[in-house]
Each structure stands twice: as C-alpha cells, then as structure tokens.
Amino acid sequence: MSGERHEGTEARRQGGGSDEATKRRSDGGSGFGVQEGRTTEQRTNDPTTDNGPLTTDPTRSVPRCGTYARTQISNHESEIENRKSKIETTHPWLSAMGSISLHTVLLVIAAFSLVPFIWLICATVKDQADFFTYPFLPWGHLGRLTLDNYRRLFAQEPFFGWLVNSLFLTSAHTVVVVTLSSLGGFALAKYQFRFRKTLQIIMLATMLLPSQVLLASSYELMYRFGWLDSYLALLIPGAVSVFGMFLFRQAMQAVPDELLQAGRVDGCSELRLWWEVALPIVRPMIGAYTLLSFMGTWNSFLWPQIILQNPAKYTLPIGLANMLGLPQYQTQYGVLMAGTLLSVVPVIVLFFILQRDFISGLSSGALKG
C-alpha cells in the first residue's frame, strides 16, 4: 500500500511536482491531496532535521541569539535526549509481555470474526443426524462426512441457475457501472464545461438520500416500462452510481494535465486519452470500485425481491431467502448452509484478487471525507 503511494508522489514530481503540490494545498483540496503535499514538502526541505520538530527552529535561529539562548537550547536538547533514552530503555521482557498480550487479544478477536466461517464450512459436510450433535465436525466418525447436502441443493432447487443469474447480472452491472463512472469522473475532474458545478451539487444532494424513498416510484416506472420480472430493471437503473462518479472524480484529479496535453499533441482523441492515459493511472481505484460494486450487486436483496417473480430468474439472495420459507428446510439445515457457502465464496475470491487495490483505493476514498 505504501508502495502505491510512493509511486503516486514520484509520478507527480516528474510531472511538475512541487508546483502541483502547493497548488493543491492552497485550494484546501482533499485530505489525500494535503497528505501527499506534505510528504513532498518534507522530502525537499528538511534534510537538517533528525531529532524531530522541536529542535529545528531553535538551531536555525542560533546565529542571531546570544549565549544565554544558546545554553538554554543545549539544555533543552540534552533534556530531550535524556527523556528519549528513558523511553527507549524499558525492559526487553516487559515489551515482550506487551507484545504477547497484544497478539493474544488480536487472536481472540480474529477467532470471533472467523469462527462462523469455519462453522459454516463444517456444517455443509455433516449429515442431518450429526448437524447439531457436533458443533463443528464429528471427529470420532469422520467417515460420516458427506457431500449429500451439495447434491441435494442442486437436485431440489434450481440453485445452479441462480448462481449463473447472479454471476451474469453482477458482472454485467459491474462492467457498465465502472465504465460509466470512470468516464463521467474523468470529465468532472479534467474538463471545464458548463453546468459542471450545478451537476456536482445536484449529485451530492442525491447521494445523502436513502434509496428506499425511490422504491415505490421506481417500481411504478418499471411497471410503465414493462420491465417487471425483467433483468433490464436490475441492470439499467442501477447503472447510475453517484458515489462511483465521485470516487473516480477524486482519483482522476491525480492525472497530470501535462500528460493529457502531450497526448493531444500526439493526436490522441479524448476517448483514447481516457482509455490509455487516465485509466492506467487510476488502476487501484478501478480495482477498489469493481469490488465495491460487485459486492453491492451480488448481495442486493430489496430491489430484486420486488422486481423478480419467476423463480428461474432469481438471484442467489432471493433464492436462499425463498428456501428459508419452505418447510423442508426447517430440518435440512445442511442444504441451506451449502447454498450459503457457495453464495459467499465468489466474493471472497474476488476480494483476494483485488485486495491490494481495494485497500489503497478505499483508503484514499475514506480520507476524502
């Protein structure tokens, strides 16, 4: 993660570095911009400091001061050294104890967080008789472990269909939303055009609205369009993401204008500038937003629940929620758990693929707040 950030600063420096940094600082910009500005500044003008901020200013003003001031300063410095050394000389075994207890606490919390996953995996391979008898696995009778739950899941329910539906809808939606948001965000960040300010204010105002206020009127609109029980109702209205636009606007501000100008001189069209210059620079944000958007659509429940009626068109959350209501699954918990596990795995896999981008992208998004 820190690697990414350094790359960012490095790129900025090459493209007219400190100038850009001061400009960003003076317009009070985003938290992220301020942070980067600060690091560049530190690197350029403080090779003299190695004892922290307290000592720098006095040493600089030394030539003008009298001897009294000089002794004061050196007293001060020795006092600082004194205190610093006191801090550093805590007993090694004491700090080892601290380290062990810190890790114990972390391990306990991690257990709370992960046990439901482990339990879930175990629950899918137990047969019905063992399900509640053993909290995790029947250790004495490992021969009784079975894949029956999975077999029943695919035989009794159109689960495979739901999985395909979810994969299709989520990937299609993610591609559309990432494309539109990055294109719009690019325009908002890198072009001056009429109504830009107005548009941004309207967008910001709608971002704070709870989406449920639109539920009834959107439903009516879908009814008028004849899109009830159709995937169009899930794909098209959801293609707008104000949040995504702002994330990309934020990220695209790091694209140096000089680079775009150079591209234009070389004869790139504006669309190619977006594709070949801007997108590669905001790559971490693409990863982060892809994951966010994928998670949102994959897990979304309320809107598809209202729109979809035909069980063959269900997505995984709707399908599972429906299975919950069926009497036979009041006892066949293993089947239900198998369905849940298979519904959770794709998101976790995607998270592992995009992890690096996600953390750095999300962090920069958070600091905007």
Partner 1 sequence: MTRQRLWTFQHRAAPYLFVAPFLILFCVFMLYPLGRSVTLSLYRSAGPRAQEYIGLGHYAFFLSDARFWTAVTNTVMYTVAFVGLQVPASLALAVLLNSQRVRLRNVFRFAFFAPHLVGNVFVGVIFIVLLAQRHGLIPKALGAIYSPWLEINWLNDPTWARIAILMAALWLSVGWGMIYFLAALQTVDRELYEAAEVDGAGRWSQFWHVTLPGIRPVFIFMVLIGTIGAFQLFELPYIILGGPGPAESALTIVMFLFQQGFEMGDIGAASAIGWLLVFMILVISLLQLKLSGFGKEEGR
Rounded Cα distance, 269 and 260, in Å: 10
User: Quick one: 201 or 213, whose CB is closer to partner 1?
Assistant: 213
**Cα 335 to Cα 20: distance, rounded to the nearest angstrom:** 58
Return phi, psi of residue 50, to 5°.
-135, -5
186-215: contacts with partner 1 (CB under 8 A): 186-188, 191-193, 196, 199, 202-203, 206, 208-215
Tell me whether residue 123 or residue 247 sits nearer to partner 1 (CB atom). 123
Which of 59, 132, 226, 257: binder of partner 1 (CB under 8 A)?
A: 132
Give the footprint of partner 1 on residues 332-361 (CB under 8 A): 333, 336-337, 340, 343-344, 347-348, 351, 355, 359
242 binds partner 1 (CB under 8 A): yes
Which C-beta is closer to partner 1: that of 69 or that of 115? 115
Angle, in degrees to the nearest 10, between helices 333-368 and 2-14 = 30
Catalogue the E-assigned strands of 265-313: none
Q: What's the closest the beta carbon of residue 80 comes to partner 1, in angstroms? A: 6
In the region spanning residues 302 to 331, those forming contacts with partner 1, defined by CB under 8 A, are: 302, 306, 317, 320-321, 324-325
| Six token digits for residue 10 | 């490095």
Size of the residue set binding partner 1 (CB under 8 A): 100
The least distance separating partner 1 from the CB of residue 316, rounded to whole angstroms, comes to: 8
Residue 326 DSSP code = S
Residue 274 CB partners (closer than 8 Å, separation 6+): 182, 183, 186
Where do we find the tokens 């993660």? 1
123 in Cβ contact with 337 (< 8 Å): yes
* CB-nearer residue toward partner 1: 61 or 269: 269
Q: Mask: binding to partner 1, 87-126, rule CB under 8 A, as x and -?
A: x-------x--xx--xx-xx--xx-xxxxxx-xx--x---
Contact 263, 273 (CB under 8 A): yes
How far apart are CB 110 and partner 1 at their closest, in Å? Answer: 4
Q: Taking the CA atoms of 183, 188, 192 and 197 in sequence, report the sign of the dihedral they define.
A: positive
